[in-house]
Amino acid sequence: MNDPYTLHTLENGLRVVIEHMPDVNSAAAGFLSHTGARDEVPELAGVSHFLEHMCFKGTEKRDWHQISVDFDKLGSIYNAFTSADRTFYFGWVPMASVRDQIEVLADMMRPALPEADFATEKKVILEEIAMSKDSVDHVAFDFVLERIFEGHALGWPVLGYDNTVGDLTRDQLHAYHQERYAADNMTLIVAGNVDPGRIIAIAEELCGHWKPGQKKSERKVPEIRSGIANRVVDRFNQHVIVMSFPAPGANDPMHETAEAAASILGGGNSRFYWNIVQKGLSPSASCFRFDLADCGLTLLCAQTDADVDGVEKLADALRKEAHDICQNKVRPEEVQRVKNKRRTTLAVEGESPYHRLVQIMDDVDYRGAPRTVDQRLAAVEAVSVDSVAEFFQRYPIDGDGYLIGVGPREWPNCK
Amino acid sequence: MEKVTHETLPSGIDLACVEIPGRHAVAIEFRILAGTAHEPDDALGIARLIQETIDLGTEKYDGRALSDAFDEIGASHGGWVGREASAYTCLVLPEFLERAIELHAEFIRRPTFPDDKIEVAVELTRQEWTALQDDAHSLADKLIGTQAYGKYLGRHSLGEPESLDKIDRKHLLDHWSETYHAGRMQVTAAGAFDTQHLVDLLETHFGGFGATETAGREHFDVTFDAVRVHHNKELEQQQIAIAFPGAARTGEDYHVQRVMLGLLSGGMSSRLFTEVREKLGLVYWVSAWGECPRGSGMIFLGASTTPDRCDVTYRTLLREVDRLSEDLTKEELDRAVNGLVAKIETQGDITRARCGQLAEDLFHFHKPMDRKEKIAKLQAVRVDDIHSYLDAHPRDALSVVTLGPRVLEGSKVAETSSTGGPQS
């Protein structure tokens, strides 16, 4: 199969990654800034996310309304998100509009950060924080990270806190942008029915004048803590249980095995589904991975409205499944089922420029280069009973981890 | 070259499909025209309980074996229960289409509804009721649906706690026998397949599946309750939901309604986003959307905001709808239309989305609708059409729900149990 990728780096350090998809009628484009909550200092918690909002609030060329108008004129499906370690802005348009889409996005990457809009947007973000406090899942997840990564930037919510967001100034935002949105800390990704040479020319024209960064910042690998904690929140009805264990990061060779292991334990048609959900212990029990480039977690999660004894029973059921999968090899058919599902997912996602954009972003950010669908399939095919066993040997989930409860019950008992 | 086919098969199945050569997968939907509105009054929640248990035991497989069989072919499958239909959806590689249809036929036609699985499903549904109380947005959505649609269309798929406890295997078998048959089935498919082969497979596996006469196409009356009701709940944010009757999917002004919703909430330059969020900073989430049961339509406005901003947010939402009659420009209209058209084109690259569009066409129009015609209707909408639409759909009798700690001006306060679940 021909390599569908074109990789290029502008003189200022901006990377350009293009996937040519000749069979589609649309194209998706996005700017990745390699910056997120883990790059913040404590007093600026939430600045990465605030900056993402402010990139929609005006540039030298456009005010906020014009940015919105220009996206909507293109009929773009667009958005942005901020995570612990990246910020991504994207738009998906009919292929004839790809240049205009890149132009709007590139303009936004050099925001004017107008003072008046800064004050209004602060209110919006405080509403977003308030909204997250009404969700037991959000409250639980924030508490889990706060405890596991205590003392590290990964321990605070991407949204920041009421006080840090409330105290943030426009100048602090500006300084953060100067440092983190330098050309050599960013990547332009385009997937769709596009001419790679033309995309590179567009990137040169629109982004060639961006300045590279003055200094390179190093990310500190966090210490992953273990322990027991609970947060009693009376107004929720469901009690959420989370058991967390260290796991490999996204760029680790065991990454695909880790995904398969999580799926066997707590995906669809999994051990958790049949032995916990279908036993009536919890409407939702899952195993998922929180992975960054340099570290990761395996998280076992479930919730129940039961009393303390019922919560303990649910926790025992999670522990039993975790113990079984660590002590006994999984069955070959369990591995095969996961592979089969991944094969379909990859084939289908390979049809859509938007999905490819997101996959490429992940590959570029964590693995340095994009992988073709065939390469991704090969990684899936390499997963085996033995590799899953090796994974649980290296990253056991039946020993000391962090046990956390959030909700109306006083569980676990931390005394 | 795409090929669209529509035919009623000898089995009674209403089939619409589009062959899209070059795609790597096939999306298929089996829609049964039986939703919450069709439930017996004393068995609310039964449609979803059927769906939760229908694949947990068949004549040939137990639940786990059936799931394993789906996984063997790498199928991505699921389902949903709506007001007027239940559906089973599947995405599969083309070489496994036959097996996917065979497996669907196995559980749709031959479920055994094991007692122990029903018991668990009832318990899990009860727990989901509790979980719904922790999801303010979904809870507000449930409350406004009940209020705006009334007895039949306003039912929630989780049913009611008191009726759930009474549902047993006989109820499930009776309701399944009554509502699951080929004459109530609409099947749609999109992707890489041969239509005749698909027809043959469906006839092989669904031929003889109960009554062939078409059924389940009736309209349910909307009994709109124009009241403002507040539900007290300890929350950080107040949920606001507003409803008023809109156009049916088959109505002449449906395309005008689509554009109007695009103007209100289609993108970041839309009026609600611009005025409520970007200018005033009142909310993070604000939206307008439409729903179309068969033969009717409902417009919803929603937002969540901290309690002391509830009244101003409520007034601003309504003002923005009214303002469309006052200062809408052609440029703004064109932008909304272009946005809708572009999204139709963009999503055409997703096989699953194409199947979903066909399913909606079949449900409302009983035939596939031409995409170009849909686009032309959107492009034909003018500023005057929006004005006429707003005149024809007045906002002087609204159904309003607020959920949170602050009573909206002019609202009556609901009984404490009106959220239908445990109190928090």
B281–A236 CB contact, under 8 Å: no
Q: What confidence tens digit (pLDDT) does each residue in A18-68 have?
A: 999 998 999 999 999 999 999 999 999 999 999 999 999 999 999 999 999
Q: Does B72 touch chain A (CB under 8 A)?
A: yes
% of chain B residues with pLDDT over 90: 92
A281 Cβ neighbours under 8 A, 6+ residues apart: A302, A304, A310, A313, A314, A317
Mutation test of the interface with chain B: which of A278, A301, A348, choosing the one with the most B Cβ atoms within 10 A?
A: A348
**Tokens 């909304």 map to which residue?**
B336
Do A231 and A200 lie in one domain? The reply is no
Q: What confidence tens digit (pLDDT) does each residue in B92-118 have?
A: 999 999 999 999 999 999 999 999 999
Task: Give the start-end residues of each E strand in B177-237.
Answer: 185-191, 228-232
Do A187 and A259 lie in one domain? The reply is no
Does residue A354 sit within a domain? yes
Where among A173, A207, A241 does a domain terminate?
Answer: A207
Q: How many domains is chain A built from? A: 2
Do A187 and A278 lie in one domain? The reply is no
Domain boundaries, chain B: 3-206, 228-413
pLDDT at residue A414, as a whole number: 81
Q: Does B1 touch chain A (CB under 8 A)?
A: no
User: Closest residue of B to A281, CA-based?
Assistant: B124
User: Closest residue of B to A22, CA-based?
Assistant: B22
Q: Does A116 touch chain B (CB under 8 A)?
A: no
Put simply, the chain A residues between 188 and 227 with a CB less than 8 A from any chain B CB are: none
Q: Specify which residues A189 forms β-bridges with.
A: A17, A30
Do A155 and A51 lie in one domain? The reply is yes
Identify all chain A residues contacting B280, using CB atoms and an 8 Å cutoff.
120
Put simply, the chain B residues between 98 and 157 with a CB less than 8 A from any chain A CB are: 117, 119-120, 123-124, 127-128, 130-131, 133-136
Do A296 and A335 lie in one domain? The reply is yes
Q: Does B267 touch chain A (CB under 8 A)?
A: yes
Which stretches of chain B score pLDDT less than 50? 417-418, 420-424
Residuewise pLDDT in 10s, chain A (415 residues): 468 999 999 999 999 999 999 989 999 999 999 999 999 999 999 999 999 999 999 999 999 999 999 999 999 999 999 999 999 999 999 999 999 999 999 999 999 999 999 999 999 999 999 999 999 999 999 999 999 999 999 999 999 999 999 999 999 999 999 999 999 999 999 999 999 999 999 999 999 999 999 877 789 999 999 999 999 999 999 999 999 999 999 999 999 999 999 999 999 999 999 999 999 999 999 999 999 989 999 999 999 999 999 999 999 999 999 999 999 999 999 999 999 999 999 888 888 899 999 999 999 999 889 998 889 899 999 999 999 999 999 999 999 899 999 999 999 988 7
Do A160 and A296 lie in one domain? The reply is no
Q: β-pairing, A15-20 with A186-192?
A: parallel
Where among A152, A178, A207 does a domain terminate?
Answer: A207
B237–A283 CB contact, under 8 Å: no
Q: Does A140 touch chain B (CB under 8 A)?
A: no
A237–B339 CB contact, under 8 Å: no
Q: Do the domains B228-413 and B3-206 match in fold?
A: yes
User: Closest residue of B to A346, CA-based?
Assistant: B24
pLDDT at residue B419, as a whole number: 54
- Distance (Å) from the alpha carbon of A103 to chain B's nearest alpha carbon: 17
pLDDT at residue B422, as a whole number: 36
Do A250 and A196 lie in one domain? The reply is no
Do A104 and A191 lie in one domain? The reply is yes
A130 Cβ neighbours under 8 A, 6+ residues apart: B236, B237, B306
Q: Does A75 touch chain B (CB under 8 A)?
A: yes
Do A382 and A254 lie in one domain? The reply is yes
Q: Residue A292 maps to which CATH number?
A: 3.30.830.10
* Structural class in CATH, domain B3-206: alpha beta
Do A286 and A342 lie in one domain? The reply is yes
Does residue A215 sit within a domain? no
Mutation test of the interface with chain B: which of A131, A162, A339, A373, choosing the one with the most B Cβ atoms within 10 A?
A: A131
Do A198 and A264 lie in one domain? The reply is no
Q: What confidence tens digit (pLDDT) does each residue in B348-383 have?
A: 888 999 999 999 999 999 999 999 999 999 999 999
Strands of A77-82's sheet in order across = A5-9, A15-20, A186-192, A26-33, A87-94, A77-82
Q: What confidence tens digit (pLDDT) does each residue in A74-126 have?
A: 999 999 999 999 999 999 999 999 999 999 999 999 999 999 999 999 999 99
Mutation test of the interface with chain B: which of A63, A82, A134, A161, choosing the one with the most B Cβ atoms within 10 A?
A: A134
Neighbours of A385 (CB within 10 A): 15
Does residue A218 sit within a domain? no
Task: Give the pair of three-digit tokens for residue B158.
Answer: 């989780």
Topology of the domain comprising B228-413: Cytochrome Bc1 Complex; Chain A, domain 1 (3.30.830)
Put simply, the chain B residues between 293 and 312 with a CB less than 8 A from any chain A CB are: 304-306
Q: What is the ipTM of this complex?
A: 0.93
pLDDT at residue B349, as a whole number: 83
Where among A155, A178, A207 does a domain terminate?
Answer: A207
Q: Which domain holds residue A97?
A: 5-207
Task: Give the pair of three-digit tokens for residue A269.
Answer: 């048609």
What per-residue string of b and e applies to B137-174 under the rule 16 or more CB within 10 Å gives b?
bebbbbbbbbbbbbebbbbbbbbebebbeebeeebbee
Does residue A120 sit within a domain? yes
Does residue A412 sit within a domain? no
Do A34 and A160 lie in one domain? The reply is yes
